[in-house]
Amino acid sequence: MIVVTPTPLDGVVVVEPTVFGDDRGFFMESFNSRDFAEAGLPRVFAQDNQSRSTRGVLRGLHYQYPNWQGKLARVIVGEIFDVAVDICRCSPTFGMWFGIVLSAKNKKQLYIPPGYAHGFCVLSDVAEMIYKCTTPYCAEDDAGIRWDDPEIRIDWPVSAPILSEKDARAPRFSEIGDLAV
């Protein structure tokens, strides 16, 4: 069983699985297609990814276009600040962002539907993140937006993040053009 909490962004939801814990540890279903279908979330994912990063690393803001990906993100080691940005011009929340701390401790997940850019920064010494994608990665569709774009104004909990070359040279939000889901 899951608890799904809406965010201010249409379709972006926080997913909290039921966790059964005792002095031996815990058990949880991180994904159950029946529960996801009942909540109106995707029940079929095409690819699973895992990343490991150190404190201060910021990855994003990434998206695929025109073959959009929805993502279900969770952290299995450490803690991150996870962000979704609405980049679909036809959306009433176009240009708005939502951020949440995901951690191995809180076991929360964030579902980011197609039409959003995604990024995160690492708050702990090390963090490992797993995310399910609704479509396979396609290198030709790989795109991004600057993490510190002044038009979006994300309140990142890091001021001088460690970036990849690709993320450091990502275009500004105003340069991405008209994207539709």
Q: What pLDDT, in 10s, does the model give residues 11-68?
A: 999 999 999 999 999 999 999 999 999 999 999 999 999 999 999 999 999 999 999 9
Check: CB of residue 87 under 8 Å from CB of residue 96.
no
* Residue 179 in this model has a pLDDT that exceeds 80: no
Q: Considering only CA atoms, which of 120, 123, 100 is closest in space to residue 110?
A: 100
Catalytic pick among 65, 111, 116, 131: 131
Supply the DSSP string of 6-54, one letter for each residue: E-SSTT-EEEEE-EEEETTEEEE-S--HHHHHHTT-----SEEEEEEEE
Where do the domains of the chain lie? 44-175
Indicate the fold that domain 44-175 takes in CATH: Jelly Rolls (2.60.120)
Check: CB of residue 133 under 8 Å from CB of residue 46.
yes
In the three-class reduction of DSSP (H, G, I as helix; E, B as strand; rest coil), residue 150 is classed as coil
Percent of the chain having pLDDT more than 90? 94
Q: What is the pLDDT of residue 90?
A: 87
In the three-class reduction of DSSP (H, G, I as helix; E, B as strand; rest coil), residue 166 is classed as helix
Catalytic pick among 62, 65, 111, 116: 62
Whether 65 sits among the annotated catalytic residues: the reply is no
Q: What is the pTM of this model?
A: 0.95
Whether 62 sits among the annotated catalytic residues: the reply is yes
* Residue 181 in this model has a pLDDT that exceeds 70: no
Q: What is the pLDDT of residue 39?
A: 95
